[in-house]
Amino acid sequence: MFIGSLIEEFRKQGIFKSNMKRIVLIGYMGAGKTTLGRVLAKHLNLEFFDLDWYVENRYRMKIPQIFQEKGEEGFRQLERLMLHEVGEMEDVVISCGGGTPCFFDNMDYINQQAESVYLKAEPEVLKEHLLMGKSKRPLIEGKSPEELIAFIRESLQIREPFYAKAKHVVNIDVIHTKQQIDDYVNQIAQITSKS
């Protein structure tokens, strides 16, 4: 008991550094969080959690259905709760939803719990990825390419200050090949290994 609390105290003071790894990828929709997160987890031999999938599994509802039935506000509440669940797990890579860091004190929580990495991409890159992707995203559903780029520009400006709090930033260009994925994954693995 005494030894246990002593170790806990040392840990708090940073005297013992645990080898536990927890990496959280953040960034706008279409930045590549899920694509890179999955490969990164494999590369580092960690477990992978996609926060959207985790919410869908826990509540047995797809994201568009949650938006429809509970509104965006309801979704944000569930998203926050689930962030706190996966945020306690050890040896994981977590990819957040695009809006996760921008609500409540989520970004501070992410930084407290993990090595956060902002996958930063220009609006044109995000648009390109979103037009290629097949995921259903309620916030951009039914938008023409022109409306989409206008929406991305506007909302990215609002979100950027939250994303900018991440401990690390990786600049992302349009991802076309497996080689590009591997290069980004190596870059993320390297920057997060130093801390």
CB 162 within 8 A of CB 111: no
The β-bridge partners of 92 are: 22, 47
Residue 175 engages ligand S3P in binding (rule: CB under 6 A): no
Min separation Cβ 66 and ligand S3P, Å: 9
> What does R_g of the chain's alpha carbons equal in angstroms?
17
Residue 123 engages ligand S3P in binding (rule: CB under 6 A): no
Residue 152 engages ligand S3P in binding (rule: CB under 6 A): no
Q: In angstroms, rounded to a whole number, what is the distance separating the alpha carbons of residues 135 and 12?
A: 41
Residue 63 engages ligand S3P in binding (rule: CB under 6 A): yes
The interface with ligand S3P within residues 79-108 (CB under 6 A) comprises 97-99
Q: Which is it for the CA torsion 61, 97, 35, 23, positive or negative?
A: negative
CB 76 within 8 A of CB 99: yes
Residue number, 8 or 173, with CB nearest to ligand S3P: 173
Of 36, 44, 52, 188, the one binding ligand S3P (CB under 6 A) is 52
Residue number, 29 or 110, with CB nearest to ligand S3P: 29
Residue number, 6 or 164, with CB nearest to ligand S3P: 164
Q: Is 169 exposed, middle or buried (0-12, 13-18, 19+ CB in 10 A)?
A: middle
Residue number, 34 or 116, with CB nearest to ligand S3P: 34
Residue 56 engages ligand S3P in binding (rule: CB under 6 A): no
Q: Binding pattern to ligand S3P, positions 5-44, x when CB under 6 A? A: ------------------------x---xx----------
Q: In angstroms, rounded to a whole number, what is the distance separating the alpha carbons of residues 180 and 145?
A: 25
The interface with ligand S3P within residues 130-149 (CB under 6 A) comprises 135, 137-139
Q: In angstroms, rounded to a whole number, what is the distance separating the alpha carbons of residues 35 and 195?
A: 23
Q: At what angle do helices 145-163 and 123-132 cross, to 10 degrees?
A: 120
Binding site for ligand S3P (CB under 6 A): 29, 33-34, 52, 63, 97-99, 135, 137-139
